[in-house]
Structure 1
Amino acid sequence: MRLLLAHHNDQSDEPSIDRHRDWHRANRMTKLILKQTMSPIVRGSVVEPETSLEFMTAIGLKFTENVKAEISLLLDRLISSKYDASETSLQPLVCLKQLILLRKSSGI
């Protein structure tokens, strides 16, 4: 609590100190709720910033990175696949369909 009040100067009025205290508590609780709802793998891979808004942004960026990696993997698989006229292989078409769906869902 002293650390919280140390951010305020001597001229801070009581209502602003109370608002800051309430904001600090709400921010801490939001981050705790976010952490509890995440899987341990995701929780460990996301750096925890000071505010809950920055924390949610970091989580979003982490998932964007995962979507980009998955798109890259599907593109590699599509490019390296070979057409075999003797059998009716739908693998390249399935891969292409997954790519299109990923791009639409991620907005990339």
Structure 2
Amino acid sequence: MTTLDHLPSDFALRLLPPSELAKRIPYPPSTRALRISQGLFPKPVKLSDRAVAWPEHEIEAVIAARIAGYGDDRLRQLISELERLRSSIPGVRQSLPADAGSARESSDG
């Protein structure tokens, strides 16, 4: 799967702040940080200098993968693909200035 074209037309993006995320996956922040560093949990989306959140559909995919019995290697592949597809979400490319992607990439370093 390389695009998000499979999403239903009524798909709505929703971001989960840490407080809502904790209700769905009860990892303490230290465990969540470890899982992110291991590639076993999606990286958050930075909203500001002090605020982050996670795309709800990515968290639901991780939960479904664990329920389905995905091992760590397969889960890493899924998370890598989900994070790669963030720039393919309908409406994102159209709403970003032409140089926004390169500016974002250079500030992530």
Q: Which TM-score tier does this pair reach, normalised by the shorter chain?
A: 0.3 to 0.5
Question: Relative CO higher for 1 or 2, CA cutoff 8 Å, sep ≥ 6?
Answer: 2
- Please identify which structure carries the higher strand content: 2
Could you say which structure has the larger radius of gyration? 1
Length-normalised TM-score, structure 1: 0.34
Length-normalised TM-score, structure 2: 0.34
- Please identify which structure carries the higher helix content: 1
